Amino acid sequence: MTDVKIARQGRILEITLDRHRANAINAATSKAMGDAFRQLAEDDGLSVAIVTGGGERFFSAGWDLKAAAEGEPPDADQGIGGFAGLTEYWNLKKPVIAAVNGMALGGGFELALAADMIVAAEHAEFALTEATIGLIADAGGVIRLPRRLPRAIAMEMMMTGRRASAAELANWGLVNEVVPGAALMDAARDLAERVAACAPLSLQAIKEIDRATEGASERDAYRIMREADLPTYRRVYASEDAAEGMAALAGKRAPNWKGR
């Protein structure tokens, strides 16, 4: 049985990490998840993905320390998207929603941070625990968390391993929505359907610009957006979908997107 399960619902790809040992992630699992995200990237019929964990206790406990103890090195080839298939998938232009069904610890939290939006179950907890065992959250945690939370809160979490509840992180704006565990996938699918209802090129251009301008000043971000090589953004205004969107609005009907 594969550790990574894929299901398709219209324009939505659902990716479930369902692995023994708390949905922990080794190199082979990272490669399998990367292949799933590559399917999202390459299939024009897909607009958005949901990534979640099997069961109710763990979203993911992160790096498979048993595999590490058995000799898998920390710099093992993780595949196209780096650890968990997503944390270094720099050219993925389509949005990803993390549906956090339980504890997101270490690399599991880093996987959630690599997503564009997070929906979490009420009982979910988040922590970067690496420093408590002599490691560092270098699959994106040490970089992304201080950019997403107030620096002092991020430093406290990274330097103590403290767990934060879904409600706390929602208050900080890191989590989009907190729902009862039984309603998690319904909430994630509702968000994904609202995303997928928008024009595919527009979604991809938003992510393309966001990634290209990350860390830039407002003025520099404008310059990058106007002058840099952003092929998806350049296609938007002359696209069939732009014309279709305006025609649909004028005709008071739902648009028929073609992704071109």
The single residue of 14, 110, 125, 208 carrying the catalytic annotation is: 110
Q: How far apart are CA 185 and CA 8, in angstroms?
A: 14
Confidence at 65, pLDDT banded by 50, 70, 90 = confident
Radius of gyration from C-alpha coordinates of the chain: 19
User: 1 pLDDT exceeds 80?
Assistant: no
pLDDT at 68: 86
Q: Torsions phi, psi of 143, nearest 5?
A: -95, -45
Catalytic member of 14, 88, 125, 130: 130
130 in catalytic set: yes
Q: Which long-range contacts link 66-72 to residues 24+ away (Cβ below 8 Å)?
A: 66/21, 66/24, 67/24, 67/26, 67/27, 72/26, 72/27
Q: In what order do the strands lie in the sheet with 48-53?
A: 4-9, 12-17, 48-53, 96-100, 117-121, 177-179
Question: How far is Cα 88 from Cα 80, in angstroms, rounded to an integer?
Answer: 8
**What does the pLDDT look like over 131-187, one tens digit per residue?**
999 999 999 999 999 999 999 999 999 999 999 999 999 999 999 999 999 999 999
**Residue 97 region, left (φ>0) first, then alpha (ψ -120 to 50), else beta?**
beta
Token pair 């966001």 is found at: 210
pTM summary value: 0.96
- For 107-124, what is each residue's pLDDT tens digit? 999 999 999 999 999 999
Q: How far apart are CA 135 and CA 123, in angstroms?
A: 26
pLDDT at 21: 79
